[in-house]
Structure 1
Amino acid sequence: MRSSRSATDPLDPGPGGFAHRGLHDDSAPENSMAAFRAAIERGCGIECDLQLSGCNSAMVFHDRDGRRLCGHEERVAHHDAASIGGWSINGTAEKVPSLAQLLELVDGRVPLLLELKEEHRNGERIAAAALRDLHGYDGPVALMSFSARAMRFVRTTAPEVRRGLVLSDRDIAMRRWDKRQRAQPHFLAVKVAIIGRGWVQSARDEMPVYSWTARTAADAAKVARYADAPIWEGDGHPRP
């Protein structure tokens, strides 16, 4: 069951959940404008990743380099936004978008869940870049990260921006406690394999819990029972 808390969650994506890296397939690759347009058309919230370019711009890209998706080994941090924006994704006509381009496309129509990727302790810098682009944006949006450093920066610099912690099974109890103390998150995003654990359900009494990444019908059923919204792809889409 969906938590009654969803009625007061400003980021609640509704029955569509959050499409993981957009609604992607072979023709609309992950974290591409095509995948984001498909998610908007389906009425899904969008979850995506932000990496910091060499010119301190927030780029919508998951990996630290272009090897897997773009066929070369260049690091995102070693190139400026204009160069990265010319990278072809999976050999398609889709190019790597900037956060500014994503915000212009979405324009408040669906909730955005933006994961900050920290590389070489640049959590504060990627957070600052994202906050610059978000200034004046009027749609439902939140920043989240594995990095408590990044979320602490958001908390102290822009406390009005909704923020969350991403947690996995590698976050032992003391680590979770320390991260939550520093970030003071509004929500958690927890790996689907561990959402049934007691500490997750205790946290859910205090704040929304989203879960990543639901990829199967079994994952979707588990998220429906133990979390407030799925971050999903493939067969992990939420059932009515």
Structure 2
Amino acid sequence: MARVPLPPGFLRLPLAHRALHDRAAGVIENSPAAIRAAIAAGYGIEIDLQLSRDGEAMVFHDDGLDRLTAATGPVSALSAAGLTALTLRGSEDRIPTLAEVLDLVSGRVPLLIELKDQTLAMSETDGRLEAATARLLADYRGEVAVMSFNPHSVAHMARLAPSVPRGLTTSAWDPDEWAPLDPATCARLREIPDYASSESSFISHEAADLPRPRVAELKAEGAAVLCWTIRSPADEACARRIADNITFEGYAAPIPA
């Protein structure tokens, strides 16, 4: 296992959070329309993955279906066919598979893939989402990287897709915001102890917590520092004092010349 650096596009192009979505315009987060909008604007793209009942990687943020569809219950209760049949609220788009999104992006812009925690406890995973992701990325030609809040998931990706750049999604791990996650787990993850063991090459850190000394320590050791989620030019200017790049939403982040 070896550390794989982020391709240069990830450090140049702002990354559209859950793709370039605009609910008021009927362009929903993580949707094909949002993917197309980001590509057209020339942004990199960040997306989220959940696992279907039958083991397919689905591009969807939440554990549950309620917020974004007319269905209820967990994503993991439905097959890929059942999930792709669901319309996203406020649009005509349906939940896409990772395979569909990879075909849509087709290497035109950098693609940052967050594997959502499947354990709800940041504990050891069964590896199914990671295996489904690695299988699809094996033949992908384009700038791509993977990350997760769950260090066990990143370790799985190191084993299953060693040539794909990987990183940790990190935060202040405020126990009140992460409840019902065990406060002891929050305390452990707060100091990003798994960076070296997962052979990560980057972190994507909570923007408000960027001044944390551990972030500076990792950057000094060569880690690329991305951040989430920037929602204004003022917040971007502040974040860029520390972060190498941003994940943004809700405004048109400038693209460097």
Corresponding position of 1:215: 231
Inter-CA distance 174–168: structure 2 relative to 1 (3 Å threshold): closer
CA distance in 2, matches of 1:117, 1:74: 17
The correspondence for 2:193, drawn from 157, 175, 178, is: 178
The correspondence for 1:168, drawn from 165, 168, 171, is: 171
The correspondence for 1:194, drawn from 184, 195, 209, is: 209
Q: CA deviation at 1:173?
A: 6.2
CA distance in 1, matches of 2:39, 2:68: 23
- Tell which deviates more after alignment, 115-124 or 203-212: 115-124
- Tell which deviates more after alignment, 228-237 or 136-145: 228-237
Equivalent pair of 1:54/1:80 in contact (CA under 8 Å): yes
- Tell which deviates more after alignment, 8-17 or 65-74: 8-17
Give the letter for the 2:151 counterpart: A
The answer to whether residue 219 in structure 2 is matched with residue 204 in structure 1 is: yes
Equivalent pair of 2:16/2:46 in contact (CA under 8 Å): yes
Give the letter for the 2:16 counterpart: A
Give the letter for the 1:180 counterpart: Y
TM-score w.r.t. length of structure 2: 0.85
Inter-CA distance 174–66: structure 2 relative to 1 (3 Å threshold): closer
Structure 1, unaligned runs of 5 or more: 1-7
Q: CA deviation at 1:172?
A: 4.0
Inter-CA distance 117–177: structure 2 relative to 1 (3 Å threshold): closer
Give the letter for the 1:228 counterpart: D
Map 1:39-78 onto structure 2 (within 5 A).
39-78=38-77
| 1:59-80 per-position Cα deviation (integer Å, ceiling 9, x unaligned) | 0000111100002213110111
CA distance in 2, matches of 1:155, 1:191: 23
Give the letter for the 1:134 counterpart: L
Corresponding position of 2:143: 140
Equivalent residues, number: 233
CA distance in 1, matches of 2:144, 2:255: 23
CA distance in 2, matches of 1:172, 1:87: 38
TM-score w.r.t. length of structure 1: 0.90
Inter-CA distance 122–85: structure 2 relative to 1 (3 Å threshold): farther
Equivalent pair of 1:11/1:111 in contact (CA under 8 Å): no
Corresponding position of 2:176: none
More helix per residue: 1
Q: CA deviation at 1:179?
A: 2.0
CA distance in 2, matches of 1:184, 1:15: 23
| 1:84-115 per-position Cα deviation (integer Å, ceiling 9, x unaligned) | 00111113101000000000000000000000
* 3-state secondary structure, aligned to 1:89: coil
Q: CA deviation at 1:54?
A: 0.4
Equivalent pair of 1:149/1:182 in contact (CA under 8 Å): no
Corresponding position of 1:232: 248
| 1:181-207 per-position Cα deviation (integer Å, ceiling 9, x unaligned) | 431211100000011222212211211
Give the letter for the 1:150 counterpart: S
Give the letter for the 1:28 counterpart: V
Equivalent pair of 1:24/1:30 in contact (CA under 8 Å): yes
CA distance in 1, matches of 2:197, 2:113: 19
Corresponding position of 1:96: 95
Inter-CA distance 50–93: structure 2 relative to 1 (3 Å threshold): same
Root-mean-square deviation over aligned CA pairs: 1.9
Give the letter for the 1:209 counterpart: V
